[in-house]
Amino acid sequence: MCYIFCLQTRLFGMLTQHTLNPVTLMVPSTTDFLILGAPGSGKTTQGRLLAANLRSDHMFIDMSRVCKVAGKFLPGFGNAFAEYSGKGELVPDELILPNFRTYMETVDPGVHIVGSGLFRNPNQVHWVYDHVPFFRDGGSPLSVIRIKLSPDDAVRRCRKRAELARAAGLTPRATDLDDALNRGRVKTYDDFVEPVIEALCRRHPDIRLLEAPSQDDPHDTFSGILSAVGAKPEDCYLRLVA
C-alpha cells in the first residue's frame, strides 16, 4: 500500500528544487495548518510544499500515511483499511481514531504541523480534541485552508493520478480508476466538509478560514495558497520548477 506514498514523494521531488539564498515564507511560526480538499484536489502535494516553506520546522502529517504506518504494526488494521478505502468508504472512527492517537503520541508536542485530510467528519474533530493531548482547545493559532475543486474536476484528477502512477511504473490505486466510486467519495467529502469546519471553529477559537482554488498546474495551486496565507512565491525556501 506504500505505492501511493512513493508516487506522491516522487512527484513532490519533481515539482521542487532548492534555491541558493532562501527567503522564508513570512507567516507566524507558531501557526498550525490543516488542509481540506476533495479527492484529487492535491492536498497532500500542497501540504508538503507548505510545510517545506514555513520559516520554522513544521511537521507534515497525512491521515492516509498514518493509517499505512499503523497497518504495518497493528494486526488486522491494514486489511481493514484496505477493505474500506478500496470501496471508497471512510474507515470507521472506532478503527482510525485510536491509531491516530497512538501515532500522535510519537510526535514532539513542541512542533507545529501541516495536516492533510486529518478530519473526515465532525465526530473526529471532537474526539481528537478530547483524547489527543497534541490538540487542545485554544492551543496554537490554526489556519484551515480549503482547496476548492468541482466534483467533475475531482473525478478527472483522480483518473489522471492513476495515469501518472502507471507512467511512473507503479500500480494505480484501484479507486482512482472508478469514476462512479470517485463521485461517491467526492459527495461524502462535500457532505462533511462544512460540519468539519464548524466543529473546528467550536473547538479552536483562534482560527483562520482560508480558501484557494485547485488548479491543474500545482504551481498555480500553491501560488493561490501563498496568496491566501498572505505570502508571495518569492518568499519561499523552495521554488516550483517551471
Yes or no: say if 112 and 140 are a contact pair by the CB < 8 Å rule: yes
Q: What is the mean pLDDT of residues 196-206?
A: 91
pLDDT at 25 over 80: no
* Three-class DSSP category at 154: helix
- Residue 19: the pLDDT is 36
Q: Does the 3-18+30-230 domain belong in CATH 3.90.1300.10?
A: no
Q: What is the mean pLDDT of residues 101-113?
A: 86
CB neighbours of residue 197 within 10 Å: 19
For every residue of 195-221, DSSP letters joined together read HHHHHHHHH-SSEEEEEEE--SSHHHH
Q: What is the pTM of this model?
A: 0.82
CB neighbours of residue 171 within 10 Å: 11
pLDDT at 134 over 50: yes
For every residue of 169-192, DSSP letters joined together read T-PPPGGGG-HHHHHHHHHHHHHH
Q: What is the mean pLDDT of residues 121-132?
A: 94
Q: Which residue, among 199, 220, 98, has the nearest Cα to 149 in the 3D structure?
A: 220
- Residue 37: the pLDDT is 95
- Report the C-alpha gap between 47 and 35 in whole angstroms: 7
For 214, the grid coordinates are 485547485
* Helix residue spans in the chain (DSSP H): 3-15, 43-53, 63-73, 77-86, 93-104, 122-131, 151-167, 179-203, 218-229
Q: Which residue has the cell 466538509?
A: 193
Dmax over Cα atoms in the chain, in whole Å? 48
For 4, the grid coordinates are 501511493
Mean pLDDT for the chain overall: 81
Contacts of 63 (CB under 8 A, 6+ apart): 96, 100, 115, 116, 117, 118, 120
Q: What is the mean pLDDT of residues 108-119?
A: 89
- Residue 21: the pLDDT is 33
* Three-class DSSP category at 117: coil
Structure confidence at residue 15 as a pLDDT band (50, 70, 90): very low
Structure confidence at residue 7 as a pLDDT band (50, 70, 90): very low
pLDDT at 242 over 50: no
Q: What is the DSSP letter of 234?
A: G
Query: Which long-range CB contacts under 8 A does 221-226 form with residues at least 24 apart?
Result: 221/42, 221/46, 221/147, 222/46, 222/49, 222/50, 225/46, 225/49, 225/50, 225/145, 225/147, 226/25
Q: State pLDDT tens for residues 31-71.
A: 899 999 999 999 999 999 888 887 667 899 998 778 777 66
- Residue 237: the pLDDT is 53
Find the helix packing angle between 43-53 and 218-229, rounded to 10°.
Answer: 50
Structure confidence at residue 29 as a pLDDT band (50, 70, 90): low
- Residue 26: the pLDDT is 54
